[in-house]
């Protein structure tokens, strides 16, 4: 059942839903294909109107296509989460959460899900996301889905899955739900989410050249802009995903719009990693995001407070220049070595932005 030679390739455009599910162009194993169905299936939400892809849409760099809101609306209208939807692409490159090499890895802005499988178990049952009442209800929604992959589900996750869900047999439900989450994680590790087809990759492969401005942007990114201290470039065989997989407090201001949408108290401050670890030394730290397809995923930061890439760079350049920015959401554990007053000119800020735009996938070399 788990072998790679059981590949299904679907030809043509057999299925489309409101959120743009089209068939994969890659050859997928059964588990990958199952994960793909699950990822795009709106039937797995309480009002049958929201899939993983709704907040992590391929065309939007696998983040929320709604550029105007800092947070995402759930399946139930008017319910909003309290963080910006990050990209689900390249998430597979984050190692499992660990404390062994300092704090590193994990999924979510605060690293609280150890890996993609644990992450995928959450959204279905989260009341401000897909809002399903139980794991059994999710399994039965797979069975009744108009996308028609219930047989594939039984084949991958066991023949009793739906019967166990109907008869409330807990161990069976747990097994099938774990398998469902695993399948999504397996899909998230495919090339479809991490294609490495940007201009940056083409330049690395010697198939394209940067413009002078992009080139300057890259040297500022690794040099006086200090970005690469945290958004690291790979070395040797490592693929470059522009993150050190660690957590930092770069001191972004709080976002009143988020506080109002998510119905939080006016003085709300997101503790990030410090909240998860219950450790004051980690308060205010968030994961260093990867920067691939970053042009497609505004707004930016855990609270969506920064709207454009130009403003992001201006923020790093001038955070500590008096009068430029409101005070940090959290001032503890602030990074002051690499961020704050970089002395970049306006043109240099623009070059860094132009460099970041070379990280969009789907580049076709001339």
Please select the residue that binds ligand HEC; options are 199, 226, 292, 319, rule is CB under 6 A.
226
Contact 40, 21 (CB under 8 A): yes
* By CB under 6 A, residue 193 contacts ligand HEC: no
Q: What are the two backbone dihedrals, phi and then psi, of residue 46, each rounded to the nearest 5 degrees?
A: -60, -40
In angstroms, rounded to a whole number, what is the distance separating the alpha carbons of residues 82 and 271? 12
In angstroms, rounded to a whole number, what is the distance separating the alpha carbons of residues 89 and 215? 25
CA 252 to chain CA centroid, nearest Å: 19
Select from 25, 30, 21, 97 the least CA-distant residue to 56: 21
In angstroms, rounded to a whole number, what is the distance separating the alpha carbons of residues 65 and 56? 8
Please select the residue that binds ligand HEC; options are 21, 40, 93, 109, rule is CB under 6 A.
109
Please select the residue that binds ligand HEC; options are 58, 86, 172, 274, rule is CB under 6 A.
86
Select from 231, 221, 220 the least CA-distant residue to 292: 231
In angstroms, rounded to a whole number, what is the distance separating the alpha carbons of residues 327 and 310? 19
Q: Token digits for 226?
A: 């200090």
Contact 286, 275 (CB under 8 A): no
By CB under 6 A, what part of segment 249-268 binds ligand HEC? 250, 252
Which is closer to ligand HEC, CB of 56 or CB of 207?
Answer: 56
- The single residue listed with the structure tokens 């800092």 is 70
Please select the residue that binds ligand HEC; options are 37, 93, 108, 200, rule is CB under 6 A.
108
* By CB under 6 A, residue 172 contacts ligand HEC: no
- Minimum CB distance to ligand HEC, residue 218 (Å): 11
- Minimum CB distance to ligand HEC, residue 21 (Å): 13
By CB under 6 A, what part of segment 287-306 binds ligand HEC? 288-289, 291, 294, 297, 300-302
Please select the residue that binds ligand HEC; options are 29, 30, 33, 54, rule is CB under 6 A.
54
* By CB under 6 A, residue 217 contacts ligand HEC: no
Q: Token digits for 361?
A: 């996938």
Q: How many alpha carbons fall within 13 Å on the CB side of residue 114?
A: 3
* By CB under 6 A, residue 88 contacts ligand HEC: yes
- Minimum CB distance to ligand HEC, residue 42 (Å): 10
By CB under 6 A, what part of segment 113-142 binds ligand HEC? 116, 119-120, 123-124, 129-130
Please select the residue that binds ligand HEC; options are 312, 330, 348, 351, rule is CB under 6 A.
312
Contact 356, 294 (CB under 8 A): yes
* By CB under 6 A, residue 232 contacts ligand HEC: no
In angstroms, rounded to a whole number, what is the distance separating the alpha carbons of residues 335 and 332? 9
Binding mask 11-40 for ligand HEC (x = CB under 6 A): ------------------------------
Which is closer to ligand HEC, CB of 80 or CB of 162?
Answer: 80
Cβ neighbors of 359 (< 8 A, separation 6 or more) are 198, 199, 200, 242, 291, 292, 293, 294, 295
Binding stretches for ligand HEC (CB under 6 A): 50, 52, 54-56, 72, 74, 81, 83, 85-86, 88, 91, 107-109, 116, 119-120, 123-124, 129-130, 184, 225-227, 229-231, 248, 250, 252, 286, 288-289, 291, 294, 297, 300-302, 309, 312-313, 316, 335, 338-339, 352
């Amino acid at each position: 059942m788990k072998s790679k030679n059981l590949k299904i390739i679907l030809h043509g455009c057999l299925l489309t839903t409101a959120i743009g599910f089209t068939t994969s162009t890659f050859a997928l194993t059964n588990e990958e294909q199952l994960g793909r169905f699950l990822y795009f299936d709106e039937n797995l939400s309480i009002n049958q109107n929201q899939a993983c892809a709704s907040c992590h849409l391929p065309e939007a760099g696998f983040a929320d296509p709604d550029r105007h809101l800092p947070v995402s609306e759930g399946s139930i209208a008017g319910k909003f989460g309290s963080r910006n939807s990050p990209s689900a692409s390249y998430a597979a490159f984050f190692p499992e959460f660990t404390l062994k090499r300092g704090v590193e890895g994990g999924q979510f802005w605060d690293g609280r899900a150890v890996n993609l499988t644990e992450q995928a178990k959450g959204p279905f049952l989260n009341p401000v996301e897909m809002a399903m009442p139980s794991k059994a209800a999710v399994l039965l929604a797979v069975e009744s889905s108009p996308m028609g992959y219930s047989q594939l589900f039984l084949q991958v996750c066991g023949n009793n899955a739906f019967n166990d869900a109907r008869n409330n047999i807990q161990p069976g439900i747990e097994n099938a739900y774990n398998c469902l989450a695993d399948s999504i994680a397996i899909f998230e590790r495919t090339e479809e989410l991490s294609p490495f087809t940007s201009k940056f990759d083409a330049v690395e492969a010697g198939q394209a050249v940067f413009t002078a401005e992009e080139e300057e942007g890259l040297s500022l990114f690794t040099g006086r802009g200090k970005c690469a201290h945290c958004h690291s470039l790979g070395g040797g065989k490592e693929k470059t995903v522009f993150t050190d997989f660690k957590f930092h407090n770069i001191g972004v201001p709080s976002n009143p719009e988020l506080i109002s949408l998510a119905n939080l108290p006016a003085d709300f401050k997101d503790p990030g990693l410090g909240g998860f670890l219950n450790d004051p030394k980690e308060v205010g730290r968030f994961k260093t995001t990867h920067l691939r397809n970053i042009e497609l995923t505004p707004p930016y930061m855990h609270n969506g407070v920064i709207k454009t890439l130009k403003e992001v760079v201006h923020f790093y350049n001038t955070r500590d220049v008096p009068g430029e920015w409101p005070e940090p959401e959290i001032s503890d554990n602030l990074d002051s070595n690499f961020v704050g007053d970089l002395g970049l000119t306006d043109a240099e800020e623009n070059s860094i932005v132009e460099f970041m735009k070379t990280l969009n996938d789907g580049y076709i070399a001339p």
